[in-house]
Structure 1
Amino acid sequence: MTAAKAPALPARAGLGLKPEHYETILTDRPDVGFFEVHAENYMGAGGPPHRYLEAIAELYPLSLHGVGLSIGAAQGLDRAHLKRLRALIERYKPQSFSEHLAWSTHDTGFLNDLLPLPYTPETLARVIDHVDETQQALGQRLLLENPSTYVLFKDSTIDEIDFLAEIARRTGCGLLLDVNNVTVSAVNHRLDATAYIDRFPMEFVGEIHLAGYDETVDDAGDRLLIDAHGTAVKSDVIALYQHTLQRCGPCPTLIEWDNDVPDFATLFAEARRADAMLAAEAAGRNSRQIQAA
């Protein structure tokens, strides 16, 4: 079922909204394209978080990013959670709502992680049903994010890109392309990250994420990347992002930095770097169009 699309985010760089930066943002009003909030952090009825978010939402576009819906779980979706999400969307009218292609619930338990799925016809059908249910319950189009993974399933019979594309085609949802996740998964599974981007269905992409990763080695001594969100975006992710922009054109791009959060000036510098790349891609496309005319 195709859900209504919210007004689009600007094709600029955005930042995750952190409580330690509330005052700086409201005082300085920095030139940031949008702010993203994790939905679960604002599910209380009131208090300072909502007071600050209301003030910031009057100044900037908002992206609402869920981390607890458990779209890939074998059990049904949590209807109470969907109602809380609906209330947030009605309250703040975000330009974008996104969730992960992952699961984090089992029976009555909640796991503090975003766990991968086997890509099979059975899980495809289940995720499609859950995306349909979510979009109907929220009255807004969902962007589904590609995962970062550390294991692959022997049971998988569908390629990840084909899996995501089929969900988008059959539900009308969009996709959130996390370029850092592509890098992490490609290194961990000895795959070609550029080839992944070249095959990705860009016509469904409504937002891009960038983040920093941590690096260690596995038992065999090979590189192992961790999707840590605790550092600046790495140079290989930036290079892959530039390649992505060449394929999809300028697209709203979030800088994720959720752990060891730095001062706002450091985050803002990351946003300005992405903004410069977005502007350069837009200018290059305009120049090519003029030359072709």
Structure 2
Amino acid sequence: MWSESKGSGLEALGLGLSATPREALEFCARKERGEAGFRDLGYLNIGVASYSDIPEELPERLRRAGLGTVSHLEEFNLVEPDIDLGVAERVARKAAVLSPAWFQEDLGLWSHGGTALFGHMMNAMHAEADVARVAGNIRRLMAHTGMLFLAENAPAYMTVEGMDLLGFLSQVAERADCGLVLDIGHLIGYCVATGRDPVRYVQQWAGIERVVEIHVAGFQVLDSPHGPMWLDDHTRVIPARGLEVLGTAVERASNLKALTLEQDGAVPDVVLHNLGAVSAVVAIS
């Protein structure tokens, strides 16, 4: 629980990469070889679902490479009235072999009506009823599994809100007594949709003290007849605006323990470029 640690008791992991369980084996090998860009990695953010196949040798490979882990759950609709605690228990038990420092999940819809939404995941509506429902689900999840949980802001292509995103995250974290993951690209998407300046928005956010992990990745902002449109795209080089917002968030997040570069689908040259760019921002901040 956040109230027990206030962030200070959590392990500092440093810079990490997102990975599937299979990709994690490759990244362990590259870290052990001391490849450029990988030698300074502190951990892997490994996506785990009830259907995930975790290689038997992965825990030992992580240990040999000196890599910690966090686990990104990939199938819980925490914004809906009820979550399947049986599935939650199975996923937590599966991920536990990786000894994650904490678990995390986006506050949005991974699926709807039995259809997986994947890259078209929908964010929560920011209303008082949603705060109570999401916080209640998080409390039940933590109580049932005994796992430390961080709530993440979901991708936001549009918003129907009774309160702003960061206010919503703060209220959820307070009521659920949990920490937060701040996704920089998702935040910028929200700011594009609502006409906010993301740097000023982060600078004014008192709740940033609950941010334990930050995510950063590539994205696009495209022109359209209806105004600018943000697209999440982890295969791309991180734009300068993303690095600027990242620097502001890193500077202000007093309980920050981990910074995850999400690069699913990116070619090796882009991964190495982004690792260098993010490392430079962290060194400056």
Please classify the TM superposition score into its range, dividing by the shorter chain length.
0.7 to 0.9
Indicate whether 1:215 and 2:224 are aligned.
no
- For residues 15-70 of structure 1, the C-alpha deviation after alignment (integer angstroms, 9 at most, x for no partner) is 123545344344447221211111128733x5xx3423541245211011122111
Mapping 1:243-258, distance limit 5 Å: 243-249=248-254, 251-258=257-264
Q: Which amino acid aligns with 1:232?
A: V
| Inter-partner Cα distance in structure 1 for 2:195 and 2:146 | 39
- For residues 88-113 of structure 1, the C-alpha deviation after alignment (integer angstroms, 9 at most, x for no partner) is 34322211211001023445554434
Aligned to 1:284: none
Structure 2: stretches of 5+ with no match in the other structure: none
Aligned to 2:279: 275
Aligned to 1:10: 12
Q: Which has the higher Rg, Structure 1 or Structure 2?
A: 1
The counterpart of 1:96, out of the listed 99, 102, 106, is 102
Equivalent residues of 2:11, 2:101 under 8 A apart = yes
Aligned to 1:122: 129
The counterpart of 1:68, out of the listed 75, 97, 104, is 75
Equivalent residues of 1:176, 1:206 under 8 A apart = yes
Say which is worse superposed, 26-35 or 116-125, in terms of deviation.
26-35
Aligned to 1:39: 48
Shift, 1:215, TM fit: 3.4
Equivalent residues of 1:73, 1:104 under 8 A apart = no
Equivalent residues of 1:211, 1:257 under 8 A apart = yes
Shift, 1:276, TM fit: 3.3
Aligned to 1:286: none
Q: Which amino acid aligns with 2:17?
A: L
Distance verdict in 2 for CA 1:27–1:53, change over 3 Å: farther
Mapping 1:81-230, distance limit 5 Å: 81-106=87-112, 108-112=114-118, 113-153=120-160, 156-200=161-205, 201-220=207-226, 222-230=227-235
Number of equivalent positions: 272
| Inter-partner Cα distance in structure 1 for 2:51 and 2:70 | 13
Say which is worse superposed, 82-91 or 207-216, in terms of deviation.
82-91
Aligned to 2:39: 30
| Percent of residue pairs bearing the same amino acid type | 19
Equivalent residues of 2:199, 2:244 under 8 A apart = no
| Inter-partner Cα distance in structure 1 for 2:137 and 2:112 | 15
Shift, 1:132, TM fit: 0.5
Equivalent residues of 2:215, 2:260 under 8 A apart = yes
Distance verdict in 2 for CA 1:55–1:104, change over 3 Å: same
Q: Secondary structure at the match of 1:134?
A: helix
Structure 1: stretches of 5+ with no match in the other structure: 282-293
Distance verdict in 2 for CA 1:103–1:266, change over 3 Å: closer
Task: Please report the TM-score for the alignment, with normalisation by the length of structure 2.
Answer: 0.84
Aligned to 1:56: 62
Q: Secondary structure at the match of 2:236?
A: coil
Aligned to 2:85: 79
